[in-house]
Every structure is written in C-alpha cells, then in structure tokens.
Amino acid sequence: MTAIQYPVAANAELALSQPMGRAAREREARALAKEAVVFTTDPVGPAFATREAALDAYKGRVDDERGGAAPAPEDRFCRLAEQIVAERGKAARLPPVSPTYENGRRWPEPPAEPPRTAWRLMVSYWRIATAERPIEAPQARQARRGKQALDPATLKAIARAPLRPVEPQQPLDIGLFEVRPPEAPHIVMPDE
C-alpha cells in the first residue's frame, strides 16, 4: 500500500499551490522544512452550495463517487467537508438543545428547516511550526484544571482539536496472556 505524501508548507493555500516538498512521515517533513513541523488540516478556497459543484471544481483532487477522476493513492490529502454557513446576525453553529421529556419524547422536534451548509475543501498537510497559525489549543485536561478563565476563541480551538494525551503512551512490558513467574521475574511465559 502506498503512503499518502502530504505537502510541507506554511499554510493550506501554499500546500496546494507551492509546497516545499511532500512527505509521508514527520521526520521526512522536518528534513524538507529544516525546522519543526505540525500535522494539520485546514479549509481552503471558496464554499460551494452543493457537493456536486465542489466535486466539479476540485476534479482530480478528491474522490468522486460519481465515476469521475480520483487522485492517486499518494495524493489523497484533500477531502470535502460540509460546514454550517453563518447567516447575518447568527452564529455559524447550532445552539445547544435541552431535553424536554414531554409527550414520551426526550428531545424537542427538530427545526422544520435544517441549517444552511456549504462544502469546503479540507487540506491535510505538514505545517511549518514557526508559520503563523490561528490558535494552538492547549491540552483539554490541563486547560480545565487551570485557574484562569478561557476566552471563547480558545474554547472553540480546544473543541475542534483532536484529543491529545497528557503524555505519550508507554509500551506494554508484557502481553495480555503472558505472565512473569515469581521464582524467575526476568522470564516472560505464555499463560494458557
């Protein structure tokens, strides 16, 4: 199986148009950039009202299940994502809904009209760490335990970031069905 070759660039627009190079692994990307890199996914380009319009605009960059052109396995670093469009005077996300517990239903009826959405191209790439970035979200557990109040932009960045561990996971000493006998703790034996 061929690994995806992600672009190395300072931002998503440059990743599409003028990448410094392409790398499948972080160490390769660091060697190309000659500095630290961070793997990220950012939206690029205009928003399209329909998925078909976005597929037509980005033909060859994303998988087209309509029978159109598909990128090579190593070029699959782009995908289409549907996002809620902000209307004037309203937020770009749905407000939280409280349970009602009325008439045998837990949740209220959904709105008659779904929110307006648009399709955007999402580009995954190795971003140069010194390049300007919107907000780097802190690790969620550490932010919650902090004594200072978090501003809304930081909370939004934490919510959109993938979960990150407090520390890297350590390898297991022994397998699930292996034991160390008490008389020889330096030996690992299978447990049947």
pLDDT in tens, 58-98: 888 898 888 767 888 888 999 999 988 877 655 567 777 88
Q: Which of 22-26, 40-44, 115-119, 161-165 has the lowest mean pLDDT?
A: 161-165
What tokens appear for 49 in the block? 């009202």
CA 34 – CA 128 distance, rounded (Å): 9
More confident residue, 97 or 14: 14
Mean pLDDT estimate for the chain: 82
> Is the pLDDT score of 46 beyond 60?
yes
CA 39 – CA 129 distance, rounded (Å): 9
Can you give the pLDDT at residue 23? 94
Of all residues in the chain, the percent with pLDDT exceeding 90 is 25
Can you give the pLDDT at residue 33? 92
- Cβ contact 49:57 at 8 Å: no
Can you give the pLDDT at residue 126? 94
Can you give the pLDDT at residue 134? 52
Q: What is the DSSP string of 70-124?
A: ---GGG--EEEEEEEPPPTTS-SSPPP-----BTTBSSPPPPSSPPPEEEEEEEE
Give per-residue pLDDT as tens, 134-156.
555 666 767 777 766 777 877 77
